[in-house]
Amino acid sequence: MPIIVRAATELDAAAIGEAHAESWRIAYQPLFSPEFLAKAVEDRRAMWPTVFASEGFSYTTLLVAEDETGVFAFAHFGPTADPEGAAEIYGFYAHPRGWGSDAATMLMRKAIEELKAAGFTRSVLWAHQGAERAQRFYSKSGWHLTGRRDERQVGGASEYSVVVEFAKDL
């Protein structure tokens, strides 16, 4: 079965959580303490039923990529207030088993198509500084660094991450 990109359903929550968790576990190992990362991985594995049930979820779009073994990647996006009127890709992750496949390119292409169809003309996304694989992919996909950086608390009182902004005219 080839890779298929489609709208996510609540039935995909566990698979999305697994892709999110395993991506974090492998990609962010050098960026966070082992204790924090272990908790963050488990949080991401369990969070998706809550995301689907959240009040604001209906204003966003969640796409998944799947193959014969099931869902292994996702793109979550929608409006952002910063900058006003732009879109934001809130999360873009693939299980490591999908790294190097065409899934990320397919997901990004479909996300951009959907953002354009919704009337957006610009989108932003944030990436952890040091997440070189992700940053290379975004650059290759036509996104550019804006120069904006932010230090964000990513869990607990002691874990922070510098994130960098990418933007793309749609």
Domain range enclosing 60: 4-120
Question: Integer distance in angstroms from the first to the last C-alpha of the chain?
Answer: 31
Confirm whether 38 is domain-assigned.
yes
Report whether pLDDT(94) > 90: yes
| Residue 55, domain CATH | 3.40.630.30
For the record, the structure tokens of 77 come out as 């996006």
Mean pLDDT on 166-170: 96
| Structural domain contains residue 148 | no
Q: What pLDDT does 153 receive?
A: 76
The encoded tokens of residue 98 equal: 């999908």
**Do the domain assignments include residue 132?**
no
**Contacting residues for 72 by C-beta, under 8 A, at least 6 apart:** 15, 19, 65, 66, 94, 95, 97, 98, 103
Q: How many domains does the chain have?
A: 1
For residues 151 and 82, which has the higher predicted lDDT (pLDDT)? 151
Instruction: Give the pLDDT score at 24.
Output: 96
φ, ψ for residue 114, nearest 5 deg:
-70, -40
pLDDT category at 158 given cuts 50, 70, 90 is: low
Number of other residues whose CB lies within 10 A of the CB of residue 39: 15
